């Protein structure tokens, strides 16, 4: 069975500082990997995803994540955060051949001035 671990439930950071949100997964087969973001009182929105090809994927708002097969990780990074990045971030894994996403427990990113 596949599972996702987000070890950090909350990450406080100052504005313009770099941040890394960690995600590790377990699966015995090939996977697709996703990061979703949830702003307060809203549904989830896709931030970025890895399906195949380049292991480094980027979002339009400056986030990036790198698929590391040997470490079974898909950490999310941003070199300089903004107040507006305050949200909860969910990592998710989908086994190729299956239809069901499995989510991590989420990491709340708190950006302060």
Binding site for another protein (CB under 8 A): 6, 9, 32, 34, 36, 42-46, 49, 51, 90, 94, 96-106
Q: Residue with structure tokens 């894994």?
A: 93
Pairing of strands 107-112, 10-14: parallel
Choice between 84 and 96, CB closer to another protein: 96
Instruction: Output the CA torsion sign for 18, 86, 31, 8.
Output: positive
The least distance separating another protein from the CB of residue 57, rounded to whole angstroms, comes to 13
Q: Residue 75: which of 44, 38, 48 has the closest Cα?
A: 48
**Least distance (Å) between residue 32 CB and another protein:** 5
Cβ nearer to another protein, comparing 16 with 58: 58
Residue whose CB is less far from another protein, 15 or 72: 72
Residue nearer to another protein on the CB measure, 61 or 105 = 105
Nearest approach, Cβ of residue 85 and another protein (Å): 19
Q: How far is the CB of 49 from another protein (least distance, A)?
A: 7
């Amino acid at each position: 069975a596949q599972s996702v671990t987000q070890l950090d439930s909350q990450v406080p950071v100052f504005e313009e500082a770099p941040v890394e949100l960690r995600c590790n997964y377990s699966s015995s087969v090939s996977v697709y990997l996703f990061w979703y973001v949830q702003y307060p009182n809203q549904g989830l929105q896709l931030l970025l995803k890895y399906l195949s090809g380049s292991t480094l994927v980027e979002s339009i708002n400056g986030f990036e994540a790198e698929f590391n097969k040997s470490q079974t990780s898909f950490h999310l990074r941003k070199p300089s955060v903004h107040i507006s990045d305050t949200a909860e971030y969910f990592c998710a894994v989908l086994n190729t051949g299956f239809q069901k996403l499995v989510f991590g427990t989420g990491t709340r990113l708190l950006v302060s001035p």
